[in-house]
Amino acid sequence: MTSLAAIDPATGTTFAETPVTPVEEVVEVVRRARAAQPGWAARPVAERARVLRRFQGLLFERRQEVAELISRENGKPVAEALLTELAVTLDLARYYLRHGPRLLRPRRVRHGNVALWGRRGWVHWEPLGVIGIISPWNYPLMLPFGELLPALLSGNAVILKPSEFTIRTALLGAELLREAGVAPELCPVLVGGGEVGRALVEAGADKIFFTGSGATGRKVAVAAAERFIPVNLELGGSDPCLVLADADLERAVSGAIWARFSNGGQTCVAVKRLIVEQPVYDAFVERLLRQVAELRVGHGREPGTDVGPLIRESQVRELERQLAATVARGARVRAGGRRLPALGPTFFEPTVVTDLPLDAPLWREEVFGPVLPVVAARDVEDAIRIANDSRFGLSASIWTGDRARGERLARRIHAGAVLVNDATTHVGAAETPHGGEKESGLGRSHGEWGLYETCRVRFVGSDRLDLMRKPWWFGYHPASLADRDAFLRFAFAPRWWERLRAIPGALRLLLNRRPV
């Protein structure tokens, strides 16, 4: 049996080997998960929540171990893993454990149509069955478990196919689930590359959650559509950051730098296109260059490191291609722009690029690495136009001294989330929906929206007046036409006296006092 190597991106060395799941076994994994799911779903929500609460406790107890493994496997600083992976996952667990049981209770539906008076209706949130999660390497704990926890709470079985670059983090998370009381067949981990993910879709899961590139997301969506399998897609973005002339420049610079260079710039929700109003452009860039120069690049497990390595050397080559093509179009590299081979094979300097045309690769494509392009806008209207001129629409940020104005402008930005005087942190807020529009994907995760993405909606209604013959049943006698019109006037006429005059005819129809 072949295996996958767990490689430390900072050193390029292998620190573990994991057996690959044979493609032909994926169908059996799905079958076992489907067989285990009804028993799990039959347990009361409160009981399922107790199991996940034990998982939350175990994750908290072993937080340092998990953070160090993420750093070793992904490259990000341990300090960053603690806050952007552990803290967010623990908070997502808190949210779903606190609010999930209430959100999953049947919800009463009250009918407003007078013809339906006497009926009772309830919306039930039921598990889909078997959910497949295909997750990326850049946030190997927070991203998959942000979907896995609500899926388990709502009564589903979950099959996790993590990136082949971050297998060990997924396996450790699954180990904590088993220790908490989740049966192994209820939440297995598939190990492998794209062929294993493809096999999971083909094996007939009831829904697929995919986070990754747009190209792969399209393939997943097409394969799922052929089988009528619904999908939730988070396909990345090229998030604009608008700095208006009245902004606090020091704060805007600090926020933009963190939102661009955290996780080595390898984040879907990140400041990737910086748009600054012309009057403050030069002052902003000056402050930006000064703060970027202070970032410390190094191994993620070294205290004090701000920016770690890229995940693989292929990622560095793609970044170099985008940068070189942009410079060839006349852009200026104002800071960084080079590899740091003395540190290791995948380290790259935090880079700032200015004077680039708006059709350059660094501006039009998604950029996964520590490179920040900056352009000037004539005014606010020009900044909004530039921000919306993108095939992506994941998130955005606006920095201004007038919050009310910023909130008004936020409604005009084409993105799933827009923050004012902040950036990216909505992903770490368990209560808020996360997802995008345009080519950034379909569906939402986190909050109640993420919980309901894991459910099948079923309506159950009953008629308490079941001894009465319904006036809309067949037997459309001509004598009933006037009463049918009276019913419409009684229910929908704009003036109250029209409704009042229609009551006799409406009652004749509802009480079947004339032939229908």
CATH number at residue 424: 3.40.309.10
pLDDT of residue 299: 96
Is residue 81 assigned to a domain? yes
Residue 8 included in any domain:
no
| Closest alpha carbon to 134 in 74, 69, 41, 199 | 199
Residue 4 forms part of a structural domain:
no
- CATH of residue 224's domain is 3.40.605.10
Residue 471: its pLDDT value, please?
79
**Residue 1, pLDDT score:** 57
Q: Please, what is the angle between helix 88-103 and helix 45-61, to 10°? A: 170
399/327 same-domain check: yes
CA pair distance 489, 27, nearest whole angstrom: 58
Stretch 473-495: mean pLDDT: 89
| Confidence (pLDDT) at 467 | 64
Does residue 187 have an active-site annotation? no
- The better pLDDT of the pair 420, 479 is held by 420
Query: Catalytic annotation on 294?
Result: no
Q: Which residues contact 258 (CB under 8 A, 6 or more apart)?
A: 423
**Does residue 190 lie within any of the structural domains?**
yes
Asked if 230 and 243 sit in the same domain, the reply is no
Q: Is residue 2 part of a domain?
A: no
pLDDT of residue 474: 85
If one counts the domains in the chain, the total is 3
343 has a pLDDT exceeding 60 = yes
User: Rg of the Cα trace of the chain?
Assistant: 27
**142 with 198, same domain?**
yes
Predicted pLDDT at 479: 80
Is residue 7 in a domain?
Answer: no
Query: What tens digit of pLDDT does each residue of 24-60 get?
Result: 999 999 999 999 999 999 999 999 999 999 999 999 9
Taking only the tens place, the pLDDT of each residue in 213-257 is 999 999 999 999 999 999 999 998 999 999 999 999 999 999 999
Domain that holds residue 501: 470-510
Residues 414 and 387 in one domain: yes
What pLDDT is attached to residue 43? 98
Of 268, 366, 448, 455, the active-site residue reads 268
pLDDT (tens digit, 9 = 90+) per residue, 483-493? 999 999 999 99
| Domain co-membership, 43 together with 119 | yes
Tens digit of each residue's pLDDT (9 = 90 or more) over 132-177: 999 999 999 999 999 999 999 999 999 999 999 999 999 999 999 9
Asked if residue 273 lies in contact with residue 363, where contact means CB atoms within 8 angstroms, the answer is yes
pLDDT in tens, 287-324: 999 999 999 999 999 999 999 999 999 999 999 999 99
Q: Are residues 428 and 454 in the same domain?
A: no
Would residue 17 count as lying in a domain?
Answer: no
Asked whether 274 and 237 are in contact (CB, 8 A), the reply is: no
List the 271-277 sheet strands across, edge first. Answer: 332-335, 351-354, 371-377, 271-277, 239-243, 395-399, 417-420
pLDDT digits (tens, 9 = 90+) for 194-207: 999 999 999 999 99
Indicate if 141 and 249 belong to the same structural domain. Answer: no
- Candidates 73, 147, 234, 366; catalytic one: 234
Q: What pLDDT shows up at residue 514?
A: 55
- Asked whether residue 417 falls in the same domain as residue 481, the answer is no
Q: How far apart are CA 22 and CA 414, in angstroms?
A: 42
Neighbours of 178 (CB within 10 A): 13
Average pLDDT, the chain: 96
Amino acid at 87: A
In this predicted model, what pLDDT tens digit does every residue of 353-385 receive, in sequence order?
Answer: 999 999 999 999 999 999 999 999 999 999 999
326: in domain: yes
pLDDT digits (tens, 9 = 90+) for 99-119: 999 999 999 999 888 878 888
**Same domain flag for 260 and 291:** yes
* pLDDT confidence of residue 513: 60
Spatial contact of 269 and 237, defined as CB atoms under 8 Å apart: yes
Q: How confident is the model at residue 516 (pLDDT cuts 50, 70, 90)?
A: very low
262 and 231 within one domain: no
DSSP string, 422-446: --SGGGG-TTS-B--EETTEES-BS
Q: Is the pLDDT of residue 400 over 70?
A: yes
Report the DSSP pairing between strands 157-161 and 3-8.
Answer: unpaired
Alpha helix ranges (H) inside 62-141: 63-74, 78-81, 88-103
Same domain? For 295 and 396 the reply is: yes
Residues 255 and 189 in one domain: no
